[in-house]
Structure 1
Amino acid sequence: MSKRTAKAPEPRAPEPQAPAPEPAGPRTALTLSRRRLLGTVGAAGAAGLVVGGAGGALGTAAAHEEGPAAALSSLGSTEVPFRDDRAKQQAGITTPLQASGHLVAFDLAPGSDRKAAAALLRRWSRTAEELMAGRTPDADTGVALDAGPSSLTVTFGLGHSFFDRTGLTKHRPDQLDPLPDFSADALDPERSNGDLWIQIGADDALVAFHALRALQKDAAGTARLRWQMNGFNRTPGATAHPMTARNLMGQVDGTNNPKPTDADFDRRIFVGRDAEQEWMRGGSYAVVRRIRMLLDDWEKRSRHEQERVIGRRKDNGAPLTGGSETTPMKLDATGADGLPVIPANAHARVAAPESNQGAAMLRRPFSYHDGFREDGAPDAGLLFVCWQADPLRAFTQIQRKLDRGDALSPFLRHEASGLYAVPPAAVPGGYVGQPLLEG
């Protein structure tokens, strides 16, 4: 979590699972490590269901082609390219979810100007490329010397205040205007926003920490830590067969996330070629929310009550109108009493694209557990990260609808928030954000 809280628990070791085809996706480019060519790639699939107006995506189980032994041995050898000719976006957006992650924000130090920011992003890009390839940068701590890249991704974003501090205010996109206030917000400003933001994900907790430490050291003298949060997801291979995971409320969570194969995926998630700010074309906007779940209150509710709050069955994630997890909800279905089978304020109904003029966002969060509060309640929930081409037309539109009447909201507390412009991937020999800083 933040710099004043304990780190998240380390993911459990994966269990063997049956062979299954690797999830397809035009933007998920995975290759074997140059260090360890150990067989097929295993990766958790990215998926997510909106949770508390922000949403929670937990990964589906790993898919492997060579059986359990290959699945276990190849977990560390999976490499995600820092830049990919087929996908101009940064890694960590459509990349399958990893088991361990860190979110961290920095503020530029006094006296750090546009030139200093450019030098920092150049260092960060170089370090990220080395680490994601399974190589060791200079002056390394040695934490991950014996590990492969383990699906490591590092993603960089720029906050609203970055543009004022670097004299680039006129190049700040309108999409970075501050998010509106919502009635469920109880935001801590010390754990929100920031000039620079980094998302780190890996299938090994030591590899993820290693990247965090290396990037923090690179920032010395130029940027200071503002806040840092630790998260986790299900480890690839932890289930007997591929399946959608559950969130900390025990709900199947990850059914209706947009898919890269959808015809309108790019339009919804990535900035178009006609964007006013040319340097953001092909990039995306990330909304980050720390959402604490009131698990003690939730767990006192019966299974029937929980299902009506969500609008889906707890055992298999199917809508209350019947079918399987992937069966479309019948929002107009009524029961013998004449009332909607899926209650009017059920979370799945209120958050559905059909209820929000088609608005959708790619949810890719981590769960977190930062110990226990003074009253003994778990300080646990969701480190929500969502991606969209325009936050006003996606996150803000959906959150406003949820704010007006979502049955799940009483069990959630939104405690931190951030909005970041995430530029496209660096060109060969360049660094993330170079067109903005040198244009």
Structure 2
Amino acid sequence: MNPVAANASTPSSDPEAGQGSQAPASGQRAAGDGPSRRRLLATAGAVGAAGLTVGAAGGALAHSATDDHAPTALSTVGSREVAFHGKHQPGITTPMQAHGHLIAFDLAPSAGRKEATALMRRWSALAGELMAGRTAEHAGADTGVALDAGPSSTTVTFGFGRTFFDRTGLVARRPEGLDPLPAFSADQLDAQRSHGDLWVQIGADDALVAFHALRAVQRAAGKTARVRWQMNGFNRSPGATEQPMTTRNLMGQVDGTNNPKPSDQDFDQRIFVAAGSGQEWLTGGSFAVVRRIRMLLDDWEALSLNHQEAVIGRRKSDGAPLTGGEETTELALDERGTDGKLVIRENAHARISAPEQNGGAAMLRRPFSYHDGIGPDGTPDAGLLFICWQADPLRGFVPVQRKLDRGDALSEFIRHEASGLYAVPGGAREGEYVGQRLLES
């Protein structure tokens, strides 16, 4: 998608209250409320299934956009804990973490539904331990990478690609939302870095903790699944700014102003699959569209500030519309300047991606930036790991991307290099593993 800035939406990375300030949000708790890697170092091997969960059902619905909480002190970053069990999987409405890993797997040729079921059991148990800040002893010898750290807002989220249903003999249960995305004229997709039977999103506020989770998930796959592709991302760290702010992308733009919020009346309707959809195993789940979008930063940075702002339709300094106000002020799309021309021009990214320009289509954007080095010619391989969540991609991502594909001014400065679409089941209830209602139906 071309939505890397402006009006298209991303949950803010605004941190929560620090020590001595406010209590953690619902679904998040301080490490002191439960065992951590440090405290379980001597007894990690004794941790059983009964100790895998913390927090209340639905706890992942902590605040995800802007709020008025005080900034988090850096010394408290490691103490935050996100609940694994709940109505929805964690990592969807969880505030954006500083570090992320995306990894896709293909089931081994000899693996089918039985093996996939065992894998999801292992992965779910592992995710519960990692998110609670425990070691990963049951998955094999723990690497020790994260022994000194607390939970650090770790989340592990699982999704199924279209081919997963073929491999497991569950084609009849495959939802229509997994129909292949249409081709877009600006796509330059690498098939080897796209799609996959299984998809895992990992987030954490500490780089070592995030890597530890990535390595643990890979090791736990064993011979059942092999890595198809893997990507690394990052965001601003909690506590890095004086007050909570919408994050910026690598173009320097405030990115995520108009993200849907859990407080919106139609939030669940837009983002999560409702009961009675005909796919009851997916109730409380969502669809994730994943796009690796390379930013042509040399070309972008050669533009003047005025030109950059015209492309986006917002001020770079604070994300406010060019028609005035502040970041959250509505776009005045009909306003014209003294020259008679539209202030927010017709092909500005903010105009084309605005929900009111797309029949109300909305997505919950939760991306990571990425940087994969600098080429021999000095060009940075950097951009956005775009992740958006919606109840139906045909009503969320697809109509907006089609419109952007036809005439977004930002298209000249970005390149879509990989793509994936995944059905993400609802959260696991106590005693369940993710995907159980599909695999055991």
| TM-score (structure 1 length as normaliser) | 0.87
AA aligned to 1:383 is L
Aligned residue for 1:41?
A: none
In structure 2, which of residues 317, 320, 326 is the aligned counterpart of residue 318 of structure 1? 320
Aligned residue for 1:279?
A: 281
The alignment partner of 1:409 has SS state of helix
Aligned residue for 2:177?
A: 175
In structure 2, which of residues 209, 217, 221 is the aligned counterpart of residue 215 of structure 1? 217
AA aligned to 1:90 is Q
Asked whether the equivalents of residues 109 and 221 of structure 1 are also in contact (C-alpha less than 8 Å), the reply is: yes
- How big is the shift at 1:332? 1.0
Q: 1:410 to 1:23 in 2, by over 3 A?
A: farther
- Equivalence map 1:96-245=2 (5 Å): 96-138=95-137, 139-245=141-247
Asked whether the equivalents of residues 160 and 422 of structure 2 are also in contact (C-alpha less than 8 Å), the reply is: yes
Question: 1: CA distance between counterparts of 2:249 and 2:21?
Answer: 23
Aligned residue for 2:88?
A: 89
- How big is the shift at 1:245? 2.0
In structure 2, which of residues 375, 378, 385 is the aligned counterpart of residue 376 of structure 1? 378
Aligned residue for 1:56?
A: none
Asked whether the equivalents of residues 19 and 76 of structure 2 are also in contact (C-alpha less than 8 Å), the reply is: no
- Equivalence map 1:15-26=2 (5 Å): none
| TM-score (structure 2 length as normaliser) | 0.87
The alignment partner of 2:256 has SS state of coil
The answer as to 2:292 corresponding to 1:290 is yes
- How big is the shift at 1:61? 10
How many residues in Structure 1 have an aligned counterpart in Structure 2? 398
Deviations 1:260-305 (A, max 9, x none): 1101100000001121111011100000000000000000000000
Asked whether the equivalents of residues 136 and 145 of structure 1 are also in contact (C-alpha less than 8 Å), the reply is: yes
Aligned residue for 2:75?
A: 73
AA aligned to 2:108 is A
AA aligned to 1:311 is G
- How big is the shift at 1:184? 1.1
AA aligned to 2:102 is L
AA aligned to 2:243 is H
Question: 1: CA distance between counterparts of 2:70 and 2:303?
Answer: 38
Deviations 1:316-355 (A, max 9, x none): 1110110111111111111122221100000000000010
The Cα RMSD (Å) is 2.2
Aligned residue for 1:30?
A: 28
Aligned residue for 1:260?
A: 262
Asked whether the equivalents of residues 333 and 344 of structure 2 are also in contact (C-alpha less than 8 Å), the reply is: yes
Tell me the percent identity.
Answer: 69
Asked whether the equivalents of residues 322 and 343 of structure 2 are also in contact (C-alpha less than 8 Å), the reply is: yes
Q: 1:328 to 1:61 in 2, by over 3 A?
A: closer
Asked whether the equivalents of residues 19 and 64 of structure 1 are also in contact (C-alpha less than 8 Å), the reply is: no
Deviations 1:49-79 (A, max 9, x none): xxxxxxxxxxx799448xx7xx222210100
Asked whether the equivalents of residues 61 and 236 of structure 1 are also in contact (C-alpha less than 8 Å), the reply is: no
The alignment partner of 1:260 has SS state of coil
The alignment partner of 2:345 has SS state of coil
Give structure 1 regions of 4+ aligned residues with deviation exceeding 2 angstroms.
Answer: 16-24, 44-47, 60-65
Question: 2: CA distance between counterparts of 1:18 and 1:147?
Answer: 17
- How big is the shift at 1:151? 0.1
- How big is the shift at 1:191? 0.2
